[in-house]
Amino acid sequence: MDEFRHELSSVPPITKVYTLLCLALTISVHLHILSPLQIYFNPYLIFHDFQLWRLVSCFCYFGTIDFNFLFNMVFVYRYCRMLEENQFYGRSADFLMMFLFGGVLSIIAAILLQMIFLSHVLTTMLVYVWSRNNPSVMLNILGLITVHAPYLPWVFFAISYILGNNATMDFVGIVIGHLYYVLEDVFPNQPNGFRILRTPEFLRNLLDRRNADPAYQPLPEERPGGFEWGAQ
C-alpha cells in the first residue's frame, strides 16, 4: 500500500486527476452506478437544463471495460504523463491550458459533427502533441511496424479506418493537436511571433508552486533510443 501511495504521489497533478476521473467514470458506468445517458455530450441539456457536468464527463468515458478500455487507459496515462513530466515539466498550468484549448475545440467539433463522447479525441490530441515534440523517437507498434513518432497518430487513424471504427474522432484529435502545436511551438518562434495561448497567473500559482526536482528520472520511453510500443 505504501508503494502504491508513493507511486500515486509521484504522478504529476493533471495526469493524476484526468486518469482517475476516466477510471472512476468508466467503472461507475460498468457497475451501473451511472448511465451513459447521464454523461454524454448534449448541448441542449447542458445549456437549457444546466447539466454542466457533461462538459467534463464526455471527455472521461471510454466505453465498456474490455481490451479497448485498457488500451485507451494505457495511452491516456502514458502520453499524458510523458508530456507533463517532459515538455511541460514544471509547467502543469500550461498543460492544463492545453487541455482547456483542446476541450473547447473538441466541443465545437462535437456540435458540428454530432459526437457524444470526446475522450478519444482528447487522447489523440495528446498523442499528436507528444509526437511532434519527439520527432526523433522511433516506435515499434506491436512488433508489426516501426515509425518515427510524428507518424504515430496517422497510423492509428489508418487502423481505425481499416477496422471500420469512427476515424473521424482520430482526425479531429489530429487537427486540434496540430493547431495547438502551431500556436504554441511554431508561431511564437517565427519573426515577430508571440504566444497566443497565455496561462492565467492564478493557475500558475496554484499548479506550478513546486520547484523542479533535480532527482527526476524520465520514463523509459523518454530516454534516448526510443521504445517499443506494446513491448513487455
Question: How many structural domains compose the chain?
Answer: 1
64-118: pLDDT as tens digits? 898 888 988 998 999 999 999 999 998 999 999 999 999 999 999 999 999 999 9
Over 60: is that where the pLDDT of 231 sits?
A: no
Identify which has the larger pLDDT, 219 or 73: 73
Residue 150, C-alpha cell as written in the block: 510524428
| pLDDT score, position 223 | 43
Residue 226 Rama label (left phi>0; alpha psi -120 to 50; beta): left
Is residue 113 in some structural domain?
yes
Helix axes 152-162, 119-133, angle to 10 degrees: 140
DSSP state of 64: S
Is residue 76 in some structural domain?
yes
Identify the domain containing residue 140 by its residue range: 65-229
Is residue 142 in some structural domain?
yes
Burial of 227 (0-12, 13-18, 19+ CB in 10 A): middle
In angstroms, rounded to a whole number, what is the distance separating the alpha carbons of residues 53 and 25? 12
Is residue 105 in some structural domain?
yes
Is residue 209 in some structural domain?
yes
Residue 162, C-alpha cell as written in the block: 481499416
Q: Are strands 227-229 and 145-148 parallel, antiparallel or unpaired?
A: unpaired
In angstroms, rounded to a whole number, what is the distance separating the alpha carbons of residues 151 and 174? 11
DSSP state of 148: E
Is residue 166 in some structural domain?
yes
Q: Per-residue confidence at 219, pLDDT binned at 50, 70, 90?
A: very low
**Which amino acid, residue 21?**
L
Is residue 201 in some structural domain?
yes
Is residue 3 in some structural domain?
no
Count of CB atoms within 10 A of residue 96's CB? 22
In angstroms, rounded to a whole number, what is the distance separating the alpha carbons of residues 97 and 183? 12
In angstroms, rounded to a whole number, what is the distance separating the alpha carbons of residues 53 and 94? 23
141-200: pLDDT as tens digits? 767 788 889 999 998 899 888 888 889 999 999 999 999 999 999 988 888 888 888 899
Count of CB atoms within 10 A of residue 127's CB? 24
Count of CB atoms within 10 A of residue 164's CB? 7
DSSP state of 219: -
Q: Per-residue confidence at 211, pLDDT binned at 50, 70, 90?
A: very low
| pLDDT score, position 88 | 93
Q: For the chain, give the number of residues.
A: 232
DSSP state of 222: G
8-40: pLDDT as tens digits? 788 899 999 999 999 999 999 999 999 999 999
Buried b (16+ CB within 10 A) or exposed e, 137-160: bebebeeeeebebbbbbebbbeeb
